[in-house]
Amino acid sequence: MVTSEPETHSETDLFSPIELGPYTLKNRIVMAPMTRNRAAEGNVPQAMNVEYYAQRASAGLIITEASQISPQGVGYPMTPGIHTDDQVEGWKAVTDAVHAKGGHIFLQLWHVGRISHPSLQPDGEPPVAPSAIRPQGEAFTYSGLQPFETPRALESKEIFNIVYDYRKAASNAMEAGFDGIEVHAANGYLLDQFLRDGSNQRNDDYGGSLENRCRFLMEVLEAVIGECGSQKVGVRLSPLNSFNDMSDSDPEALFSYVVEQLNPLELAYLHVMEGDFAARPGAQPAFDVHKLRSIYQGRYMVNGGYDLQRGNAVLAQGAADLVSYGALYISNPDLPERFAQVARLNTPDESTFYGGDEHGYTDYPALNTGG
């Protein structure tokens, strides 16, 4: 039986348990997916990744950093994948450690599309995209920042192969012991590029109308549901985010349509990033993203600068079922415990967010160590 009806009673707070698909989460505090660039050679999760996630197992749910479904999906140095045997084994050590501490963990599946560089692609090929439109900005490479190059537009028959890559990645995630997967359709990466008309100017079955631009995402979801079951699959959207040079002529119509199409799938959850990484100070959002909550009929997760008070408030109002936290989880591995005690929070060191060693990764103190 699907148990995904929104909850609206005022007693609900961050510490209330919740049914999510086949699981009972101990709280509604979710660790958001965050790229940290600390995988080993071959984009394989390593020992410090195991410790990092195990430290945060008191979350109701951990969503891992984005993990590429194929060599073509790579867009940044030292980001983990889920398409080789070694990567599967590396992630299995992570899931075992999280489960040993009573946690739940989903893997976020990722293809960056045009947000890459030939130096990161197989055989130095150009990145792929729905259309040959070069994004503004620079790629992070092993040689430092490099200007983005014009991507190659995918042929229709190639999209079928990428859908297969998502299916195989979902199967690999199950083999690695994950409780489920989140499809990354946000923040200007490949699936988001197909959704928005600023990056998708195709004239085939994957471009033009809302139905066509949504087709790739729906095919991917159908494929991963076939491997995991719908109640072990979530999806992330970022309707307002212009990060990675993203735009759409009518985002409210687009994302309202997308969310309507998700309803029949009976997913584990919809994860909505409410803000805009690249917004200018004082800029007004294109539409009220909270309207999407009234459209979606299942578990609804929000992300966007929430703290303890705002997190409790959005749940009590019935405007969300779960709240995901990003930067606060970097510096506070025991975030639920700190919230429960209204304790002081560690300050994150932004200089250690991307790349490096254990410093700024696994060495933030927990409450019981004097943090």
Domain ranges of the chain: 18-328
Q: What is the pLDDT of residue 8?
A: 42
- 270, with CB counted inside 10 A (0-12, 13-18, 19+), is buried
| Three-state DSSP class for residue 113 | coil
Supply the CATH classification number for the domain 18-328.
3.20.20.70
How many CB atoms sit inside 10 A of residue 82's CB?
31
Look up 189 and say whether it is catalytic.
Answer: yes
Helix, strand, coil percentages in the chain from 3-state DSSP, rounded to 5: 35, 15, 50
Q: Could you give the CA distance from residue 216 to residue 206 in angstroms, rounded to a whole number?
A: 7
This prediction has a pTM of 0.95
Amino acid at position 218, single letter: M
Q: Could you give the CA distance from residue 214 to residue 12 in angstroms, rounded to a whole number?
A: 34
- 122, with CB counted inside 10 A (0-12, 13-18, 19+), is exposed
Q: Which two tokens stand for residue 231?
A: 């109640």
Q: What is the pLDDT of residue 4?
A: 45
Q: Could you give the CA distance from residue 73 to residue 110 in angstroms, rounded to a whole number?
A: 7
Q: What is the pLDDT of residue 368?
A: 77
CB 250 within 8 A of CB 203: no
Q: What is the pLDDT of residue 280?
A: 79
Query: DSSP alpha helices (H): ranges in 7-72?
Result: 47-55
Q: Which of 189, 206, 306, 325 is catalytic?
A: 189
Q: Which two tokens stand for residue 277?
A: 């990484």
Mean pLDDT by groups of 10 residues along the chain of 371 residues: 43 96 98 98 98 98 98 98 98 98 98 98 98 97 97 97 98 98 98 98 98 98 98 98 97 98 98 90 89 98 97 97 97 98 96 98 86 54
Paired with 118 in beta bridges are none
